[in-house]
Amino acid sequence: MVISVFGIFLGGIIEFAHAYLVIHTLNAAAKRAARYGAAEGVSTTEVRDRVDELLGSTFRPSEATIYVKDAGVFDSAPFNPTAVDYTNLPDIELEDAEPTQLFAVRVSVPYNEIAIMPTTMWVKDLTLWGGAVMRHE
């Protein structure tokens, strides 16, 4: 009895640690890709490729959804950042972006796709995400 409870406890620790690893990787990939995309002459496709490259060491990049969006909505006041639906923001081609124009890179992955153990035991319908907002140069 004690061993089975300890096994479940240990499995939970491992699974949550893996989830935090993925969240950190998503945030780091979005931030590094946004910094890369802030430079002049970099395309949106190159930013997406950069995210794929950075995610490849943690999980299959094909599992992730990458958004590169015009984040001009962040410049308007008053603004509630919790009310933003990133999927509905307009797409942006970074090669055509104006200097100081805000853009967002957001990367999300369904937890079921990256979980170590079957997720029916721990969580359902959870999406992990990371993001960064940067000004184009």
Distance CA 15, CA 21 (A): 10
- Chain length of the chain: 137
pLDDT tens digits, 69-103:
999 888 887 777 778 888 899 999 999 999 999 99
- Helix H segments across 40-110? 44-55
pTM of the model: 0.88
pLDDT tens digits, 1-34:
889 899 888 988 988 898 899 999 999 999 999 9
Count of CB atoms within 10 A of residue 28's CB?
A: 16
Angle, in degrees to the nearest 10, between helices 2-38 and 44-55:
150
